[in-house]
């Protein structure tokens, strides 16, 4: 798959796909003519990246956690340093905090909307 197709299938600009590659989030083979060639698996990977970026994680962090997300499960860092593991644990905890924050606020927005509808229904 070339960049145009991956771009369409992920609703991501070509520019960004090249940027993600530059940031080490995805990689591509090159055809003899220099065109990038992508594996079909990259579609999911790119969507995952976009989701994480949208959730506020910077590429630096995403790069670190992506190797944990592969299926089938493979241990990529059998000899990961304690620092690496600590980083991942910290990131996991930060994600948990984000989740809690988002749930709290999403529920409040939802409750607000419900209350507004309630008010209107009574009139």
Partner DNA sequence: TCCAACCCTCACATATGTGTGAGGGTCAAC
Partner DNA sequence: GTTGACCCTCACACATATGTGAGGGTTGGA
- In terms of Cα–Cα distance, which of 88, 93, 89, 17 is closest to 53? 17
Number of residues in contact with a copy of itself, rule: CB under 8 A? Answer: 39
Taking CA atoms, 119 is separated from 107, 111, 113, 122, in Å, by 18, 12, 10, 5
Shortest Cβ 95–a copy of itself spacing (Å): 4
d(CA 15, CA 96): 31
Given candidates 78, 81, 121, 122, which one binds a copy of itself under the rule CB under 8 A?
78
The DSSP code for 30 is: E
User: Per-residue string for binding with a copy of itself, 40-59, x by CB under 8 A?
Assistant: --------x--xxxxxx---
Residue 14 contacts residue 24 (beta carbons within 8 Å): no
* 119 binding a copy of itself? (CB under 8 A): yes
**Residues of the shown chain interacting with DNA in the complex, contacts defined by CB under 7 A:** 2-5, 7, 13-16, 18-19, 23, 28, 31-36, 50, 53-54, 58-60
The entry of DNA, a copy of itself, none that residue 103 binds, CB within 5 to 8 Å by partner kind: a copy of itself
């Amino acid at each position: 798959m070339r960049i145009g197709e991956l771009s369409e299938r992920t609703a991501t600009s070509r520019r960004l796909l090249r940027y993600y590659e530059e940031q080490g989030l995805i990689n591509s083979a090159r055809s003899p003519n220099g065109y990038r060639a992508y594996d079909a698996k990259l579609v999911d990977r790119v969507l995952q990246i976009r989701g994480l970026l949208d959730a506020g994680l910077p590429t630096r962090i995403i790069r670190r956690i992506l190797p944990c997300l592969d299926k089938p499960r493979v241990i990529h860092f059998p000899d990961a340093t304690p620092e690496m593991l600590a980083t991942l644990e910290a990131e996991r905890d930060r994600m948990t905090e984000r989740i809690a924050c988002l749930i709290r606020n999403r529920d409040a927005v939802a409750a607000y909307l419900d209350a507004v509808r309630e008010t209107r229904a009574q009139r």
